[in-house]
Structure 1
Amino acid sequence: MTFDKLTSALNQGGQHLGDLIWWTLAEARIDRSTLEKIWAGAQLAPEHLPDPPTAEKALKAAVREAAVGQPDRLIRLGKEDEAEIVFAVVRETKHADGSVTYQQETRIVLDRKAESVSSDIAAHDLAGVITTRFGELRSTHTPDDVRRAMMKTLDACAAVTLRDHGGVYWVPAPYAELVRRLQTAIEKIGSSRVYLLPVHASADANRTLGDAAKLAIEDELAALKTEVEGFMASPPDRPSTLVRRLDAFEALKMKAALYRDVLQVRVQDLEKTLEDLTGSVEHLLNEKVAA
């Protein structure tokens, strides 16, 4: 059955509960200015865009790419401080007696202030590859950046993962318009495709999605509880860390309310647990203010 036929068949159900979403990112490298235009054109929140490319990120991405397919050479971080980042290209030689020796071939240096990359052997092949890729990546977002922007948007849509390792998500119906704007934006990046499969009310759909939503809330609540217990044992240095947790509690409360309305999902002791966690975090904040 084709995707269109499957969509048509599933559209015959009852009330629209939401959409299943999955995607493929193909040829998804994109420069910052183009991504910003696409994002704005789809009326997506700018705060969900990835951070702008930096010289540091560009160099490290270039190094990762250059290291692929180099069985006898390693690229190792040798130094990273406020002034520079230094990677060393090292040749690894294995000998008949089982011993291994290493010989450094060149150093690749990022001058943080000048945002320039250089090598102590200008004609070195890997250094040349890294320098070229650095120039290309300096103003370019990678597919991983695009994926992270998608995940930020889906998180804002109260999405629930339907697989242990992600890849397929359910977005509740109140965010149907937003997720379609996301689809429009992503499909303008390279040859990427975003698939939306509407899910309508039925006994099986309500039960399956309800179970998934309940599990997602319980997992998120457990993670927050563990984190706050760690804060109580060793308070973070920055008050902003605690403030962000208060925001996370409120976001989880809103997500739970949404799932309760759409799928009649209820998580036992959610309100009480969030209230206790909020009290603990506020206590830590008050202690920092008084210190």
Structure 2
Amino acid sequence: MSPVTCRRRDIAMSALERIRSTLAAPGGEHLGDIVYWTLAEARIDRSTLEKIWAGAQLAPELLPEPPTAEKALKSAVREAALGQPDRLIRLGKDDEAALVFAVVRETKHDDGSVTYQQETRIILDRKTESVSSDHPGHDLANMIAARFRELRATHTPDDIRRSMMKVLDSCAAITLREHGGVVWVPAPYADMVRRLQSGVERIGSSKLYILPVHASTDANRTLADAAKVAIEDELAQLKAEVEGFLAQPPDRVSTLVRRLDAFEALKSRAELYRQVLNVHVLDLETTLRDLSVSVEKLLDQKAAA
């Protein structure tokens, strides 16, 4: 485990407790909000989600990607495979024309041998986006087909969670717990967080909780530590990526251009943390400038090729 990861873990373990102790006390300037959530009954059809998103005045580009036939079938297969001790569902084919899963019965014999018998195939025709089976009436095939029809226009809780994180990332959020689920969002994005809350709480029985944090010695120190580690960690990741590009340049120019965008985004986020929490990361601007020069040289090489 790297030193940066260890530091993040240690801060994550203490950050919430240290900040929680300051929430009830009179505070100064609003530093931002601690945000956490529960997603319940969060399956939702695309059209309803779009209406909720628009009603909350959230950017449409932060919505999840529209459901696809391939994703719907794979999700239906995963759900159908649960609770099937003697039957397996295995990917049989995946090409431009079709996606095929085979239902296979596994039989264990007294002598220790195992035999397999294919019962049916579930076939997604990519052109027509229809699902069929070569054994009509097969119980698992019917179950998968029914779930496919439901999921074809439906977003899962995972889709909602990923879109929530897109919104929070756009708000320069900092994760306060190692495995996610609890973040701090700087005060300038308070309105965005509350709009996200209004949208999320219209999805099933989901809840998004907001705990305002105000300036105090403990809160400032804890959040500043978390912000500094987050910036240093992201900077280290970007540096490692660019070193990899120098050793083996990526095929796509867009990959390099996105890194330049990432450098600017990190610089902006660091400036925000500096303004709100007085956080300073040693050599940040110098490192980002050097990384930008390296990426621009790679872009020039590709343009000249």
TM-score, normalisation: structure 2:
0.91
Alpha-carbon distance between aligned partners in 1 of 2:23 and 2:269, rounded to the nearest angstrom? 29
Query: How many angstroms does 1:8 deviate by?
Result: 11
Counterpart pick for 1:197 among 211, 228, 231: 211
Q: Once the 2 structures are TM-superposed, how far is the Cα of residue 13 of structure 1 from its aligned partner?
A: 1.3
Check the 8 A contact 2:23/2:214 in 1, yes or no: no
The yes-or-no answer on 1:16 pairing with 2:30 is yes
Residue-by-residue CA offset, 1:2-29 (whole Å, 9 max, x unaligned) = xxxx899637311110000000000101
> What is the alpha-carbon distance in structure 1 between the residues aligned to residue 258 and residue 127 of structure 2?
31
Cα distance in 1, alignment partners of residues 298 and 67 from structure 2:
35
CA distance in 2, matches of 1:211, 1:99: 58
Equivalent position of 2:190 in the other structure: 176
Distance (Å, rounded) in 2 between the aligned partners of 1:12 and 1:122:
68
Cα RMSD, aligned residues only: 1.4
Report the alpha carbon displacement of residue 100 of structure 1 after superposing the two structures with TM. 2.1
Change (3 A) 1:166 1:9: closer
Indicate conservation of the 8 Å contact 1:253/1:271, yes or no. Answer: yes
The count of corresponding residues between Structure 1 and Structure 2 is 286
Query: Residues 1-291 of structure 1 correspond to what in structure 2 (within 5 A)?
Result: 10=24, 12-291=26-305
Question: What CA distance in whole angstroms lies between the structure 2 residues aligned with 1:89 and 1:64?
Answer: 12
Q: What stretches of structure 1 of length at least 5 have no aligned partner?
A: 1-5
Aligned-pair CA distance for 1:243: 0.6
3-state secondary structure, aligned to 1:132: helix
For residues 54-112 of structure 1, the C-alpha deviation after alignment (integer angstroms, 9 at most, x for no partner) is: 11111111111111111221111111111100011111222233332221111100000
Of stretches 195-204 and 65-74 in structure 1, the one that deviates more from structure 2 is 65-74
Q: Distance in 1 between matches of 2:226 and 2:105?
A: 49
Q: What's the TM-score once normalised by structure 1's chain length?
A: 0.96
Q: Which runs of 4+ in 1 moved over 6 A?
A: none
Q: How far apart in 2 are the matches of 1:10 and 1:289?
A: 58
How far, CA to CA, are the matches of 1:7 and 1:53 in structure 2?
Answer: 43
